[in-house]
Amino acid sequence: MSATKKFQVTFDCAEPERLARFWCEVLGYVVPPPPEGFATWDDFQRAQPPEQRDSWSACVDPSGEGPRLFFQRVPEGKAVKNRVHLDVRVGSGLVGEERLAALEAECARLVPLGAVHVQTLYADEENESCIPMLDIEGNEFCID
């Protein structure tokens, strides 16, 4: 058996720094320190050729447990549904009304950050409740 590998999740996007900061707020992540030799990210950006400035950003779990999220600028906009999405796990271990209340509270926290509430999927005989949402660039994710 091979050991578990660290991984990062990469987002194609229009505004990498803005999207990274959104996900930092959602997940409690932080923007990592600038590359060695640069006091600030602004110093790093000024040192890049104009076509590479603001072309990427990242955010990391300060505990080191969660995956790194990487955001890279691409010229085309989002055209179809994501093939992969993040589930923000705020209702783990909760059921019924208690779970729904936790999901709705998280939804209420994220909407002012620019997230869009798509719908609330209520529990049924097979599944617990979840809330599909869109981030600030229209990428789908779920509060679950």
Structure tokens at 15: 């505004």
In this structure, is residue 139 part of a structural domain? yes
Instruction: Provide the number of structural domains found in the chain.
Output: 2
In this structure, is residue 27 part of a structural domain? yes
Domain that holds residue 64: 8-73
In this structure, is residue 80 part of a structural domain? no
User: Across-strand partners of 57?
Assistant: 71
Per-residue pLDDT tens, the chain, 144 aa: give them: 667 778 899 999 999 999 999 999 999 999 999 999 999 998 998 899 988 888 999 999 999 999 999 999 999 988 888 888 999 999 999 999 999 999 999 999 999 999 999 999 999 988 899 999 999 999 999 999
User: Containing H/E element for 19?
Assistant: helix 16-27
Q: Residue 36: phi, psi to the nearest 5?
A: -55, 135
Boundary of a domain, candidates 29, 45, 73: 73
Residues 18, 58 within the same domain: yes
Residues 67, 16 within the same domain: yes
Distance CA 15, CA 54 (A): 8
